[in-house]
């Protein structure tokens, strides 16, 4: 992993945390969105 990937990962984690804090955990749609975002990030960070 080079420093660019690490910076991206850190940014992604900050964004995810911000999203998580805004989410109403009772809604199933929100959980689906989180899973989609995590999957996307994994695809982008593991070329």
List the domain boundaries for the chain: 3-45
- Token look-up 């975002």 returns 37
The runs of H, that is alpha helices, within the chain are: 3-22, 28-45
> Is residue 26 over pLDDT 70?
no
**Burial status of residue 40 (CB atoms within 10 A of its CB: 0-12, 13-18, 19 or more):** exposed
Contact in structure between 45 and 13 (CB atoms under 8 Å): no
Mean pLDDT of all residues belonging to the chain:
79
Please, which pLDDT band fits residue 45 given cuts at 50, 70 and 90? confident
Please, which pLDDT band fits residue 32 given cuts at 50, 70 and 90? confident
For 12-22, the pLDDT digits (tens) are 889 888 877 77
Q: CA 17, CA 10: separation in Å to the nearest integer?
A: 11
pTM of the predicted model, to two decimals?
0.40
């Amino acid at each position: 992993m080079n420093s660019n990937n690490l910076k991206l990962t850190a940014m992604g984690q900050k964004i995810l945390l911000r999203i998580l804090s805004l989410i109403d955990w009772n809604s199933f749609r929100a959980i689906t969105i989180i899973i989609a975002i995590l999957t996307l990030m994994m695809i982008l960070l593991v070329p």
